[in-house]
Amino acid sequence: MAGMLTRSLLILLLVSGEAYANFTINMPSGVTDISHKVFQLHMVVLWICVVIGVLVFGVMIYAIIFHRRSLGHKASNFHENTKIEILWTVIPFIILIAMAVPATITILEMDDVADSDLTIKITGYMWRWHYEYVGTNVAFMSDLSTPYEQIINRAEKDEHYLREVNNPLVLPINKKIRLLMTGNDVIHSWWVSELAVKKDAIPGFINETWTKINTVGTYRGQCAELCGAKHGFMPIVVKAVSEQDFAAWMQAQQQITVEPHQ
């Protein structure tokens, strides 16, 4: 069946690694310790499901092939077996516990916001993001920078179509960064896949999460909560730089007079 073919293809591709030309089929392993843990959790649960699926569907396929009337197979009479029912209630329960343990550990690790080096306040607007480096006067709006002509198909789309901004969020690597989120108008959600950070930005409330980026690079994400017409047009770009580069950038920023809110 088509479903099983595509599933086998998925397994092959996952085993072989990742990118085919331009696209990926799996979650990124990412550039933070948490993102690695989340990726591993995802793969473990996925593989457990694949194995269970193969076993269970295997039994069904066996029946479809060998227990068909056209082969002359005659129906048996059984329709009850308490022992086996107990077995296939308890065994899945144990497998679930095996999954729940690493999941719980990861949740508790993600919850630990203590000892951060830098705090950023992120505000979701309709339809852009605002970043404020708490404790400094550095704050700015971050808007989609893809030209309108590209969106309405009058110009060739560039490489980072819909995932590029005028003012990226610049962060230092190897520092624990506390992220405070709120919404200005409706609920938005700040999502950067490579950092495994996603959190709702709710008007009137402040949410908190943290990240610690290991590798220099540019990481892109999008708003992940329907927020009106341009929900698909308010991306996020995080530029992770070395500590020295970050210090230099902050210096330069603090000398620019910025308007915190439009």
Tell which positions 240-259 bind other proteins, by CB under 8 A: none
Which residue from 204, 244, 251, 255 is in contact with other proteins, where contact means CB under 8 A?
Answer: 204
CA atoms within 13 A on the CB side of 21: 0
Question: Nearest distance from residue 254's CB to other proteins, in Å?
Answer: 14
Binding mask 15-34 for other proteins (x = CB under 8 A): -------xxxxxxx------
Establish if 223 lies at the interface with other proteins (CB under 8 A).
yes
Question: Nearest distance from residue 166's CB to other proteins, in Å?
Answer: 17
Question: Nearest distance from residue 170's CB to other proteins, in Å?
Answer: 20
Site for other proteins in 72-111 (CB under 8 A): 73-81, 84-85, 88-89, 92-93, 96, 99-100, 103-104, 106-108, 110-111
Indicate the residue among 27 and 216 with the shorter CB distance to other proteins: 27
Number of residues that bind other proteins (CB under 8 A): 117
Which residues sit opposite 121 in a β-bridge? Answer: 132, 180
Residue matched to tokens 């899945």 = 92
Question: Nearest distance from residue 134's CB to other proteins, in Å?
Answer: 6
* Selection from 204, 192, 201 nearest residue 31 by Cα: 192
Could you give the CA distance from residue 101 to residue 45 in angstroms, rounded to a whole number? 12
* Selection from 258, 239, 259 nearest residue 249 by Cα: 239
Establish if 186 lies at the interface with other proteins (CB under 8 A).
yes
Could you give the CA distance from residue 136 to residue 239 in angstroms, rounded to a whole number? 19
Indicate the residue among 215 and 232 with the shorter CB distance to other proteins: 232
Please confirm whether the linkage preceding 127 is cis (ω < 30° from 0): yes
Query: In one letter, which amino acid is 40?
Result: Q
Could you give the CA distance from residue 153 to residue 151 in angstroms, rounded to a whole number? 5
Question: Nearest distance from residue 101's CB to other proteins, in Å?
Answer: 11
b/e 15-32 (16+ beta carbons within 10 angstroms → b): eeeeeeeeeeeeeebbbb
Establish if 202 lies at the interface with other proteins (CB under 8 A).
yes
**Coil, helix or strand at residue 188:** strand
Site for other proteins in 33-62 (CB under 8 A): 37-38, 41-42, 45-46, 49, 52-53, 56-57, 59-60, 62
Could you give the CA distance from residue 206 to residue 214 in angstroms, rounded to a whole number? 26
Site for other proteins in 120-179 (CB under 8 A): 121, 123, 132, 134-135, 150-153, 157, 159-163, 178
Establish if 67 lies at the interface with other proteins (CB under 8 A).
yes
